[in-house]
A and B are shown apart, each in its own frame.
Chain A
Amino acid sequence: MKQSIFTIKENRPLTDLVWLMRMAGDTSEITAAGQFVNIQLDGLYLRRPISVFDCEDGMLSIIYKVVGKGTEKMTTLPVGTELDVLTGLGNGYDLEKVGKKPLLVGGGVGVPPLYYLAKKLIAAEKKPEIVVGFNTADEIFGVEFFEEIGCKVTVTTVDGSVGVKGFVTNALEAIDYDYICTCGPEPMLKALYRATEAKGQYSFEERMGCGFGACMGCSCKTVTGYKRICKDGPILEKEEILWEK
């Protein structure tokens, strides 16, 4: 973990509510896809946890959805603004454990960390396929990022306006995969957990006090005892999760 100052280089909307921010700073502690950063915003007491969307030579990118005070405020920050950011938080996806034919499944703002993961997997010669789920056509973002790096993407929409109608689980049958990495809202994770026999790594969200393991604000029970989502997670292996099949 590291606390350092990042300078915003780009901050623009991708859809009505989803924004992309790029910022320059010390990215040396960001060692794995699926990790997150914790951003301090003027006038708000707690930091905001956001996943790493991309990270390259001192440039950190995040994609965030406007849901409340903090993310609203982020949209107003001009290029050049300096932000106090804790980097290198969380365990991240373990590339070693990923099988030969990985499928990355993202829902809503669970999609961003999968892009950095896809890049890492390609570098490790485990090129993934992608499924991304949204509610409606106008919520879709990020597909082109995956296509640019040569990944096949299947889109699902609940209303059927684009791609496969329904949920991400409706797309599974048509795909040949042996392992799943996923991030998204909990109902999606649960549906996926039940819909596939494949092993995998699931990314979780929880309200956080610190984001680095000090406060026990984010604990969850797992098969192997309690874990802090911020430090021992946010990625849990499927076998660790305490859900009914």
Chain B
Amino acid sequence: MGKMNVNLCGIELDNPVIPASGTFGFGYEFDELYDINVLGTFSFKGTTKDPRFGNPTPRIAECTEGMINAVGLQNPGVEKVISEELPKLYKVFNKKVMANVSGFSVEDYAYTVEKLDSVDEIGWFEVNVSCPNVHGGGMSFGTQPEAAAEVTRAVRKVTKKPIIIKLSPNVTDIVSIAKACEEAGADGISLINTLLGMRIDLRTKRPVIANKMGGFSGPAIFPVAVRMVYQVAHAVNIPVVGMGGVSSAENVIEMMLAGATAVEVGAANLVNPYACRDIIADLPRVMAKYGIENLSDIIGAVK
């Protein structure tokens, strides 16, 4: 059997499959279904300094081969994540976990990362810069190279753990933003977050989502994600975590060929709660089919 292990920023993963933030809660819900230790790791729900209820409902809209969500980073806040959610997770998960962090100011990000830094079980930080910057006129940190770099520098100061900056695809030049984060001290880049989308209900003639717009994800965005992963992976010298529409072992391999060291799976977990387990179980078959001995050999094989 081929080898599935990969090295992500100095930490060895048994396989490259990682449930994406926001689609796997804090993991323990899924442990009722399967042993989540089969995962490479997983990225927990976007955590912020203060508790957040998130947006009004409806927060979900169906699309062709995908969905829009406008959850609005609902989470109990970093204190409760540490005192309540993570202890429940460690009872069932014995690998390093990826801490997904969000913020609305540079200070927010630094505060949250600093708090989480003392938690041994956290292996990596995944810093989501798609949030609006309240001091920057509401523009997302991830849309300007300088703002993304500023967040990177601020979190770099408060942790020695690997920092992976998670980029928004809603930009004109993703490469310049990725490079700015690399220069500011990021250890990795993950992408893509959701694409801004909208649906309208013909019966009510109103947006389906209370917030009007939301993040579009699922199989429909896969080609966009592969393209962006390819562009970024070939422009930076740090590992890239690829995601966006991944739903099968074939998709995982395609992302890795484009340049991803590891691959996250988001919306697929919501429609098939066993998606990640099934993808991992199917990887050896697909590797054999395409003559792949070691998954780590194919990372960025497409030039």
Interface residues of A (CB under 8 A from B): 1, 3, 40, 44-47, 86, 206-210, 212-221, 226, 231
Residue B57 lies at the interface, judged by CB distance under 8 Å to chain A: yes
Interface contact B59-A218, CB-CB below 8 Å: yes
Which B residue sits closest to A215, measured CB to CB?
Answer: B270
A217 and B71 contact, CB distance less than 8 A:
yes
Which of B60, B208, B269, B271 touches A217 (beta carbons < 8 Å)? B60
17 contacts between A and B (CB under 8 A): A3-B272, A44-B62, A45-B62, A45-B64, A45-B218, A46-B60, A210-B23, A212-B29, A213-B25, A214-B270, A214-B273, A215-B71, A217-B59, A219-B74, A221-B53, A226-B53, A231-B29
> Which residues of chain A are near B63, meaning CB under 8 Å?
45
Chain B residues with CB under 8 Å of A217's CB are 57, 59-60, 69, 71
In contact, B273 and A3 (Cβ under 8 angstroms): yes
Encoded as 1 (CB less than 8 Å from any A CB) or 0, chain B from 42 to 60 comes to: 0001000000011001111
Q: What's the Cα separation between A86 and B270 when bound, in Å?
A: 11
Beta-carbon contact of A219 and B32 below 8 Å: no
Number of interface residues of B (CB under 8 A): 35
Q: Which residues of A contact B169 (CB under 8 A)?
A: none
Tell me whether B30 and A214 are in contact (CB under 8 A).
yes
Report B-chain residues with C-beta under 8 Å of the C-beta of A45.
62-67, 218-219, 271
Q: Is the CB of B71 within 8 A of A216?
A: yes
Min distance, Cβ B28 to any Cβ of chain A, angstroms: 10
The answer to whether B271 and A214 touch across the interface, beta carbons within 8 angstroms, is no
Report if B61 contacts A (CB, 8 A): yes
B45 / chain A contacts, CB cutoff of 8 Å: 216
Residue of A40, A213, A231 contacting most chain B CB atoms (<10 Å): A213
A24 to B69, CA, bound (A): 33
Q: B interface vs A, CB < 8 Å?
A: 22-25, 29-30, 32-33, 45, 53-54, 57-67, 69, 71, 74, 208, 218-219, 267, 269-274
Nearest 3 CB-CB pairs, A to B? A210-B270, A207-B58, A217-B60
Assembly CA distance A217 to B58 (angstroms) = 8
Q: How many Å lie between the Cα of A12 and that of B259 in the bound state?
A: 52
Choose from B24, B61, B219 the contact partner of A214 (Cβ within 8 Å): B24
List residues of chain A with CB within 8 A of the CB of B219.
45
User: CA separation between A40 and B30, bound complex, in Å?
Assistant: 19
Q: How far is the CB of B275 from chain A (nearest CB, A)?
A: 11
Q: Quick one: given A45-B67, A210-B270, are A215 and B62 in contact (CB under 8 Å)?
A: no
Beyond A1-B32, A45-B64, whether A218 also contacts B57 by CB under 8 A is yes
A44: which B residues are within 8 A, CB to CB? 62
Chain A residues positioned under 8 Å from B267 (CB to CB)? 209
A188→B22 CA distance, assembly (Å): 33
**Which A residues touch B32, using CB under 8 A?**
1
Contacts of B274 in A (CB 8 A): 3
Assuming A209-B67, A214-B269, is B62 touching A46 (CB within 8 A)?
Answer: yes
**Are the CB atoms of B60 and A207 closer together than 8 Å?**
yes
**Most chain A Cβ neighbours within 10 Å, of B66, B218, B272, B274:** B272
Complex-state Cα separation, A92 to B255, whole angstroms: 41
In this complex, the member of B57, B63, B274 whose beta carbon has the largest number of chain A beta carbons within 10 angstroms is B57
Query: Cβ of B269: which chain A residues have Cβ within 8 Å of it?
Result: 210, 214
A residues less than 8 Å from B65 (CB atoms) = 45
Contact call A210/B54, Cβ cutoff below 8 A: no
Contact (Cβ within 8 A) B69 A214:
no
Contact A214 B25 (CB under 8 A): yes
Chain A CB within 10 A, most for which of B23, B58, B62, B74: B62
Asked, given contacts A215-B69, A217-B60, A219-B53, whether A209 binds B270 with beta carbons under 8 Å apart, the answer is yes
**Docked CA distance A236–B74 (Å):** 20
Give the residue name and chain of the A residue nearest to B55 (CB). A219
User: From residue A219, how far is it (CB to closest CB) to chain B in Å?
Assistant: 6
| Contacting residue for B60 out of A3, A40, A209, CB 8 A | A209
Compute how far the CA of A214 lies from the CA of B74 in the bound complex, rounded to whole angstroms: 12
CB A37 to nearest CB in B, in angstroms, measures 14
Q: How far is it, in angstroms, between the C-alpha of A215 and the C-alpha of B273 when the chains are bound?
A: 11
Contacts of B74 in A (CB 8 A): 216, 219, 226
Q: B5 CB to closest chain A CB, in angstroms?
A: 27
- Shortest A63–chain B CB gap in Å is 22
Taking the closest CB of chain B, its distance from the CB of A62, in whole angstroms, is: 19
Which residues of the other chain, B, contact A206 by a CB distance below 8 angstroms? 57-58
CB distance from B46 to the nearest CB of A (A): 10
Q: Which residues of A are found within 8 Å of B54, using beta-carbon distances?
A: 216, 219
